[in-house]
Amino acid sequence: MNFNAHKRIISSAAVFAAVFAILSAAELCGTEKVSADSSVKAVKASAESAVNAKAGAVYALTKTDDTQEVQSDEAETDERVRFSAETIKCSESGSDDGGIKIIIENGSETDEYFCSFNGGKTFRKMNKRTAVMEGLSEGCYSICIMKNADKSTMSEMHTVYLSSEDEIIPVEISADSVSEQIYSDGMIKIHISGYDKEKSYEASVDGGRTWKTVKGRTAYFYGLTGGEYTAAVREADAPSEDSQELQITLGGFTHGTNKYIKTECILQNPELPTGCEITSLTMLLNYMGYDVDKLTMADDYLPKGEYRNSDFYEVFVGDPRNYSAYGCFSKPIAQAAESFLKDTGELDRWDVRNITGCTADSLYAAIDRGYPVVVWASMEMKPIGNGRSWTITETGKTVTWPSNEHCLLLVGYNTKKKLVYMNDPLKGTVAYKMSEFEKMFDTLGNHAVIIVEA
């Protein structure tokens, strides 16, 4: 980070488009019951969180000049919606006479509920706690519900497959969303509704690259991360007799309303005027129980490259002990963490993950699980601009340093107060507006590093 570039040395940041059949113009409406001649198949996509993360101690804030200090407060409760879903099968392939019935399990007559059938892209107000979306074609629908238009109450997202009667191998599919995009705690269930006990079946969720023997009429795939999956079923003895491939999206954006992880804050100055990245990592390692200082991490473990002749995506440009240096993004910090843990002989205990590209909601869900996250934003969440550019001799690549770039340790959040809590290497433990942090986090490319138990 360069002083003239105004970095942070101043002490004053289902696919949902898959096989998703186009929704008809039918409105979401209240319903007393489903017609008796409808073919209703219970999917029971219970919206209980896969982890049931509870909000821990949270902290209120006292306003100072431009930041806020942390004070203890009482924990708030988890108010996420829970629901179940039932599918009404289409009469035949290509028809649009199917439907999905939603039943809110923890509803209240005094609250308003909003339902999405396209993975949270759009919502419609529900007239009752039980409602039906009619006029649907066969395909996958990712469903989530929120209360009183408050995202903090968002249910887990569940994908259900609305089938027809004339499939080669009729299947019903439901998917429980992961707690967020980082952890492998999602599940896909494939149920063979046209099951023949005289036949053997196999199921796949990776587009047919690998197949799993189905014991009975239902197959479960556990330990899945958030993302897109292609599900199918076939007869083991006649592989050509298979179902259509179905695109499924495991969602990953749910979290509580607030959580704060108390950690010791370390300031980068005066020894590391441009060392916010390695200082943030040092704070994380200290929280994990490792007695290591920022200078050891900077001198012995941080990958460094030639000043104004290296790529900050690959190495730290310059030396963090110097005011004229620049900095780095997530890859060198993840490498530094792995190198340190390897030297301690405990790399097998931990999983260092470069989760660059994740959503801010995934960061908050990680906090719910008790994991602080090294994140990239800007100094005091000020706008990011273009700093100095240079061309790397070895590759001919030209890079431009983002002015005001800054790295911090995210240790908490509060969706109702719309604040994030940071251990800022320049300012100490402070709070920033959630919207400003998310904007800067997104502007820099959603760079983040987390270390979780293996």
Q: How far apart are CA 124 and CA 107, in angstroms?
A: 16
Burial (Cβ within 10 Å: 0-12, 13-18, ≥19) of residue 282: buried
How many other C-beta atoms are found inside a 10 Å radius of the C-beta of residue 195? Answer: 17
Q: How far apart are CA 301 and CA 400, in angstroms?
A: 25
Please give the average pLDDT of every successive group of 10 residues along the chain, which has 454 residues.
Answer: 37 30 30 29 29 27 35 50 85 86 88 87 86 86 87 79 74 70 78 85 91 90 83 86 77 78 97 98 98 98 97 98 97 98 95 91 90 97 96 96 97 95 98 97 96 90
Residue labelled with tokens 């240790």: 411
Fill in the amino acid letter for 448. A
Identify whether the C-beta of residue 315 lies closer than 8 Å to the C-beta of residue 306.
no
Residue labelled with tokens 């620049």: 326
Identify whether the C-beta of residue 370 lies closer than 8 Å to the C-beta of residue 261.
yes
Fill in the amino acid letter for 161. Y
Q: What is the DSSP letter of 315?
A: S
Identify whether the C-beta of residue 288 lies closer than 8 Å to the C-beta of residue 451.
yes
Q: How far apart are CA 99 and CA 102, in angstroms?
A: 10
Q: How far apart are CA 214 and CA 378, in angstroms?
A: 51
Identify whether the C-beta of residue 430 lies closer than 8 Å to the C-beta of residue 424.
yes
Q: How far apart are CA 389 and CA 400, in angstroms?
A: 4
Fill in the amino acid letter for 429. T
Residue labelled with tokens 């599919």: 173
Q: Could you tell me the pTM of the whole model?
A: 0.65
Identify whether the C-beta of residue 416 lies closer than 8 Å to the C-beta of residue 74.
no
Burial (Cβ within 10 Å: 0-12, 13-18, ≥19) of residue 131: buried
Fill in the amino acid letter for 294. K
Identify whether the C-beta of residue 14 lies closer than 8 Å to the C-beta of residue 8.
no
Instruction: Return the pLDDT at 16.
Output: 29
209, two tokens = 């690259």
User: Going by DSSP bridges, is the β-strand pair 218-224/246-250 parallel, antiparallel, or unpaired?
Assistant: unpaired
